[in-house]
Amino acid sequence: MLTPLAVSLAGAVSAGETEERGRVIAQANCARCHNIAAAGDSPFPPAPPFRVIARMYRASDLEEAFVEGIVVGHPAMPEFTMTATQAAALSTFIDSLDR
Ligand code: HEC
């Protein structure tokens, strides 16, 4: 009887951890250009704030793009390749800005 409860609690904790891990990735790799907070402008104005990107794209589409390596038609944006786990964390974090 206790096992299903333990499993669902573990799931709830790890969802928050996933979002936090995504925030750390964004802070380290994206925040020098994109604003990654709930308000404010991007440090590099041509880069849309992540909360704007969150409204433009579904989390599942972002996640797929991150795994494949997003290529934007803009030389200022470096190409990133990341693991599936990192992509999931980052898209979960970006999605959390659109609440
Ligand atoms: C050196 C600056 C820079 C960094 C670092 C950077 N970006 Fe960008 N990013 C841009 C710019 C500039 C644009 C706007 C490109 C355009 O509109 O053509 C952009 C656009 C985007 C878009 C929208 C693409 C589209 O087609 O609309 C996404 C998603 C994105 N960036 C994600 C990220 C993620 C995730 C990271 C970190 C892993 C990151 N960016 C790091 C500069 C940057």
Q: What is the pLDDT of residues 6-44, one digit of tens each?
A: 444 445 457 789 999 999 999 999 999 999 999 999 999
Rg (CA), the chain: 15
pLDDT of residue 51: 97
- pLDDT per position as a tens digit, 70-81: 766 566 777 777
Per-residue tokens: 42? 């991007």
Q: Which two tokens stand for residue 18?
A: 């996933």
Q: Is the CB of 45 under 6 A from ligand 1?
A: no
Ligand 1 atom closest to the Cα of residue 65 is: 29
Residues recorded for the chain: 99
CA of 11 to the centre of ligand 1 (A): 30
Residue appearing with tokens 């409860």: 5
Q: Looking at residues 78-93, what average pLDDT do you find?
A: 89
Higher pLDDT, 16 or 4: 16
Tokens 């579904």 belong to 58
